[in-house]
Amino acid sequence: CMCRMYTPIVSVNYTFYYLASVCPFAVACFFFFQAEDGIRDFCLSRGLGDVYKRQMLNTKYFIFPAGQQGQPVPVENPYAYGNAWFVDKVQYVNNANEEIDALNDILPTETAVADATFKEKLKGVTEGYKDSLSAIRLTSYEPNRLVYKTSSAKDGVVVFSEIYYPGWQATIDGQPVDIARADYVLRVMNIPAGEHTIEMWFDPQSIHVTESIAYAALALLLIGVMILVWMSRSRISKKS
């Protein structure tokens, strides 16, 4: 199981590099993602920053100073939602403002709020399914690759405590599937009934475009060098 720490006191560079962490600056930055005018202030004024960092982003521990010397002490957070969870419903809204506003009226462990632009990726599902046996477990965690095991008696909808960002790809048992966005910043997917393996990895198209340009530039460079060598040899042959 991968959990995150919230630390307002430890070096930001240290926590980002060595720990799966959520710092105050990172939480604020999330609200800039594809934000509309004024959306960040709206979020913070509603206290949603705390909801994200404490619960929906699976912050398992808080690190705070304690004692006379102010030594860092981890405090467990009993309210963290976990790495992923099944929901009972999907509620569609028209824009980002409505998406964040709706979070004040729902329980995220029961309802996922999604922008209508992602309705096609979720196949228009409005009802999910979960019971006491529905389960999803993170079995492998790397910065650019995640693997989950899931089990459910019926088709369901799962929200992941991971930031939605274009370029992330996913498969279920090796078959490509869509990743949608829910609760403004999180990932959500349709999950079929039964036991399955879900894999996510970061593979943005921009990297492949950059690689193609780099290879093309290298090829042109090599061709140019070969032409220069050929011209140089031709001149030497003529002089001889």
pLDDT one-digit tens code per residue, 88-97: 999 999 998 8
Mean pLDDT, the chain, rounded, equals: 80
Give yes or no for residue 10 having a pLDDT over 80: no
Give yes or no for residue 240 having a pLDDT over 80: no
Q: Which helix (H) or strand (E) holds 170?
A: strand 168-172
Instruction: Kindly indicate the confidence band of residue 34, based on its pLDDT and cuts at 50, 70 and 90.
Output: very low
Scanning 52-125, the segments in alpha helix (DSSP H) are: 96-102
Specify the pLDDT at position 51: 52
Question: Quick check: 5 and 59 in contact, CB under 8 A?
Answer: yes
Give yes or no for residue 221 having a pLDDT over 70: yes
Higher pLDDT, 16 or 162: 162
Question: Measured between alpha carbons, how far apart are the two ends of the chain, in Å?
Answer: 75
As a 3-state breakdown, the chain gives helix, strand, coil percent values, each rounded to 5, of 30, 35, 35
- Of all residues in the chain, what percent carry a pLDDT higher than 70? 75
Specify the pLDDT at position 15: 47
Side-chain half-sphere CA neighbours of 189 within 13 A: 26
Other C-beta atoms closer than 10 Å to the C-beta of 17 total 9
Higher pLDDT, 216 or 44: 216
